[in-house]
Amino acid sequence: TQLLEQSPQFLSIQEGENLTVYCNSSSVFSSLQWYRQEPGEGPVLLVTVVTGGEVKKLKRLTFQFGDARKDSSLHITAAQPGDTGLYLCAGTSYGQNFVFGPGTRLSVLP
Amino acid sequence: DAMVIQNPRYQVTQFGKPVTLSCSQTLNHNVMYWYQQKSSQAPKLLFHYYDKDFNNEADTPDNFQSRRPNTSFCFLDIRSPGLGDAAMYLCATSRAEGAGGYTFGSGTRLTVV
């Protein structure tokens, strides 16, 4: 069974600060995704990474897939209150269903 | 816009009274999933359909059943809800298993009284 760990579990920061959250596993993934889930809503896909070492940017969000494809990070620059939510990573290995991590709950205070 | 729609958004049911949650999609995706998400936890896959093929997760209780009468609709039936079944239930779709992104509905929050 593939397991994903995410850290930190909770993060509370002030508007304008930078932050990085992590997603780690002992398994190799062929594809890894990041989702953001707002309270009372379903998760929304942010990005998919498939190549070891890959870096993708989505406005103020930077996603990196580890060289060994076992870990990933999400960096947010100049966080805004609208970034508040639960950030979930999910990984798959060659056609298997995605497995979700427990998430990092981010709160950005104005 | 193409989307995944779950009804109702909030459902209150009595202990032991059967309840059905519904999901519809306009994406024409082959795969439909049902997840259970409890507070501060990761979504847990209950089962999924690839077209008409039903795939049950090994640890999904027998109390949970699903039906997919056509490509667009999928139902989650809880035969005898217990207090431990109170959770957010998320429906998701994808083009294929383990490929592409999942599109999630807004979820149904189930309360058992």
Q: Could you identify the residue written with the tokens 């994903």?
A: A4
Cα B95 from Cα B101, distance rounded (Å): 8
Chain A residues in contact with B42 (beta carbon < 8 A): 4, 88, 100-103
- Give the DSSP letter string of B9-71: SEEEE-TT--EEEEEEESS--SEEEEEEE-TTS--EEEEEEETTEEEE-TT--TTEEEE-SSS
Which residue is closest to B88 within chain A, CA to CA? A40
Taking residues B87-112, report their average pLDDT. Answer: 89
Q: Are A43 and A54 in contact (CB under 8 A)?
A: no
Chain A residues in contact with B109 (beta carbon < 8 A): 40
To test the contact with chain A by mutation, choose from B39, B40, B41 the residue with the greatest count of A C-beta atoms within 10 A, namely B40
φ, ψ for residue A83 (rounded to 5)? -85, -10
The pLDDT tens digits for B39-72 are 878 899 999 999 999 999 989 999 999 999 999 9
Q: Which amino acid is at B52?
A: K
Q: Which two tokens stand for residue A33?
A: 């995704």
The pLDDT tens digits for B9-27 are 999 999 999 999 999 999 9
The pLDDT tens digits for A42-62 are 999 999 999 999 999 999 999
